[in-house]
Amino acid sequence: MIELKINGQLTKLDVSEDMPLLWALRDVAKLTGSKYGCGKGICGACTVHIDGQAMRSCITPMSYAQGKSITTIEGLAEQGDHPVQQAWQDLKVAQCGYCQTGQIMSAAALLANNPNPSDADINGAMAGNICRCGTYPRIRAAIKQAAKANKAGAQS
């Protein structure tokens, strides 16, 4: 039995220590927002937050996730209205959508650690998230919009 926190809930999962976190989330915890793309840590479709850092759940074994706090797209905001999600909707970022939860989780972690990222910061943080539909310009615009919304929220 492996114990960890998922989206704020203390959770026990009957899985082996070498099972990738992505498998445990999707197949055992039934949280299917995180996607399987490459399974090798290359595409970013499986990105979740582990103790606040964006990480690839497909190459993270449960032995590492044990005792940690995991946030998936389902837990990013109760109403799905995190500033990043709102900016994504406003700018209609998604095309096929497959990569987008990973993109959003990487963007949310970036802004949590760096509320006012430069283009270079965005490029660096998002470099590992691949989008076969080529939504990169809208992703960058949405991150900038979310950063502005965060700033406005902090001032009000």
Residues engaged in binding ligand FES (CB under 6 A): 36-39, 41-46, 56, 58, 94-100, 131-133, 135
Give the residue among 94, 49, 97 at the shortest CA–CA distance from 75: 49
Give the residue among 93, 125, 130, 90 at the shortest CA–CA distance from 111: 125
Three-state secondary-structure class, residue 8: coil
| Minimum CB distance to ligand FES smaller for 95 or for 150 | 95
Compute the least distance from the CB of residue 152 to ligand FES, in Å. 27
Compute the least distance from the CB of residue 121 to ligand FES, in Å. 21
Compute the least distance from the CB of residue 1 to ligand FES, in Å. 25
| Minimum CB distance to ligand FES smaller for 68 or for 150 | 68
| Minimum CB distance to ligand FES smaller for 21 or for 76 | 21
CA distance 65 to 55: 11
| Minimum CB distance to ligand FES smaller for 145 or for 150 | 145
The pair of three-digit structure tokens given for residue 135, joined into one six-digit string = 């939504």
Three-state secondary-structure class, residue 142: helix
Compute the least distance from the CB of residue 42 to ligand FES, in Å. 5
CA 151 to chain centre: 21
